[in-house]
Structure 1
Amino acid sequence: MEPVDQLPPVAPHECEAAAATARRIAENVRSAVQVQGRTLEHVLVALIAEGHVLMEDYPGVGKTALARALARSVDCQFARIQCTADLLPADVAGTNVYNQREGRFEFRPGPVFANVVIVDEINRASPRTQSGLLECMQERRVTVDVHTHELARPFLVLATQNPVEYEGTYPLPEAQVDRFMVRVSLGYPDLDHEVAMLGDHGMGDRVELLEPVVTAADVLAAQEVATRVQASQPLREYLVRLLARTREDARVDLGASPRAGLMLLRAAKARAMLYGRGHVEPDDVQALARPVLAHRLVLAPDAVGVGAAAVVADAIAAVPAL
C-alpha cells in the first residue's frame, strides 16, 4: 500500500457519488425510524470509515430499530445476535463440525460472517463471548482451531446496551470499548416526532418494509474514497494536541490513545466526504471528538460529577484550531 500522502486526491465527482450513497441510506432509514440527524450522521460516518458503533441508551428509544433499518438499507447480508449469559464464542464466530459423509471436519461460519452484524444487549454476554468479538472487530477475521477465516466486506458491528438494568450484565472492558469507533445515544424524541411515531404504529413494523437502496459495492467504493480524503500536516498536529490535552487533564486516569487518534482521523475523513469535501477541516474533528473519544477515557476516582464528554469539550475549547 502506498503512503497516505501519495494517494491520489479525491476528484469532485468521486466525492459527490460517495456522498450520494450515504444520503440514500440516510433517507431510507429516516423513512422508518425517528432519529436525530446528528446521531444518524455519526452512524454513517462509522460505516464509511470502516468502524463500529456502540449505541447506549435507555430501553425503548429505538436502538435496535435504527440498527435494523441501517442493515436493511444496504443490499448485503446482515445478522442479529441476541446476547445472553449462556451465549458462547462459537455461537458468534462459528465452529468446526464433523461431516460424517466426507469423514472430515468442516467450518460452519457464525453470524459475524455477515456484512452488518447487530449485537443486541452486548453487555449481557459473558466476558468470554465478548472477547470473541475482539479479533473480528479489529482485524476483520476469525481464527478457529488455528485456521484463519477472513470476514466479508464491508463489515460493520452495531452493538446496543442499556445504561440501566445492570443485574445479570457484564460491563465491557476498556479493550472491548476501544474497538468501537463511535458511541452514540439516541435520547428521547421530541414531542412532534413522538406523536408522528405513534401515528405510524398502525402501519406495523416499518423497518420490515424497507428495501435496500445501495449495494455492498457502493459502500466499498465510498469507503475507498474516504481513505483518499486529504488531511494536512497542521490538521494532524491539531488532532494530536487534542489527544494530548485529554491525557494531561487531572480529572482523567487514562486519556485518549494513539489508536483513538487514528479512529478520529478516519472518522473526520468520512465526515468531510459526506459534506462533499476532499479535505478535512477542524470542524470535522471537533464534531466527532466527543462520540469518538469520550467512551475511551477513564476518569479519575475523585472526578465526581464530571463526565468524559465534558473533558473532551474542555479539550476542544482549550486547544486552538488551525
Structure 2
Amino acid sequence: MLAHVSSPTVPPHDAKVTVWLRTSVSDPKGIKVTLRYGEPCPQGNGYHFHKPFGQEIIMVDPPNPSIDDKQIQIHQSQDWVPEVTTYDHITTPPPTGNYLDSEAIEAGLSGHQKRGRARDDRSHWEMKTPTLATMLRFLQAAGVEKIKVFDPHSRKEHELPVKNQADILYYSGHGSSATGGLLSCLDKCPVLVSDIAPSVNWKEDLDYFIIAGCSVLKPDPTNGFAWGNATLKQGILKGLCGYHGLAPSDKGGASVRIVQDFTAFLTLTQIPPVRSKDYVLDAWLEANLRNKALGIVYTSSQFWKVVVRRWPFKDEVAGTFNW
C-alpha cells in the first residue's frame, strides 16, 4: 500500500499519515493503517508514504480477526455462505446479444451474496457489486469483492477488486468443441482449462462452474472430460453444468427461461426430479429438459445429458453414464 502526498515542503524523516482500509463484504468496518514517509515521488510532484518492507498488511481468513496496522479479513476458504458470480461476454450488440441470462441468475438467486460480475462493455464499480472486464483473471478468481483505502479527512479514496471466490460461477459466451475452450474473453482466446489452472486458482470456495456456451462439455477427451479431469477428479468442484451441443442464444429468450427455471429449483420454488443426487445438477438438467436444450452435467465419475428428439418421441435425460 502506497500513499502519494502533495506537500510544499519535504516531510521529516519520521513523518506519518493514517488511512483506513476496509472491504465491501468480509470487513466493512475496516482497519486503521499508519504509513511512514519513504521517498520523494520520482515525478517530482509529491512524496510517497508506505509500510516498511516486511510489515505490509496481510489478508487473513475469518475467524482470524482484523487488526489495525497489521491484517484485514478477506474470505479465502469455504465460508458456508451461498454466493454467485456471473461472467457474460456478448459479440453482437443488443437486443441480439444481451446480458439477460446472467442478470436472471443474479435476480433468481437473490438470497445468494454477489461476488462481482464480469461484462465485456463496462468495467465500473457499483455500490455493492463490482463489475469488471471479461478477462482471464476474472475466470481464475471466480469471484471478487471490493477493497477500499480512504482518508476520512480529505474524502479521498481508491477501490480495487480483491479475490473472494463464489460457490457458483456462471459463464455466458461462446465455446469451441474443437479445443474445449471458452472463446469469449478479451485477453485470451481460447481459454482452456489449463489456462484457468483450477488446482491453483479454484481451491478456495468454488463448487460449481456453469458453462452456458456451445459444446464445451461434450463428453469426449477434448471437452467435458478435460474440464472434469482438471476439476472434478481432483476434488476441486462438486459439479460441472453446461451443454453437449448448441447452447441457447441470447436472442429469443431461451437462455433466460432456462436460468429462471434453474434458479426456481435452487430456491425450492419447484423441486426437480432426482437423477444425479446433486441438487444443483438435477436443477440444471430439468431446466434444460423443460426448454428443449442440450444440457449436460458431470460429477467426478458420471454424467447425464438431455436428449432432444423429434415428435412423436419424447425428450429425455439420458444417463447414468460413467466416465
TM-score (norm 2): 0.28
**Which structure is higher in helix share?**
1
Q: Which has the higher contact order (CA 8 A, sep 6+)?
A: 1
**Which structure is higher in strand share?**
2
* Structure number with bigger Rg: 2
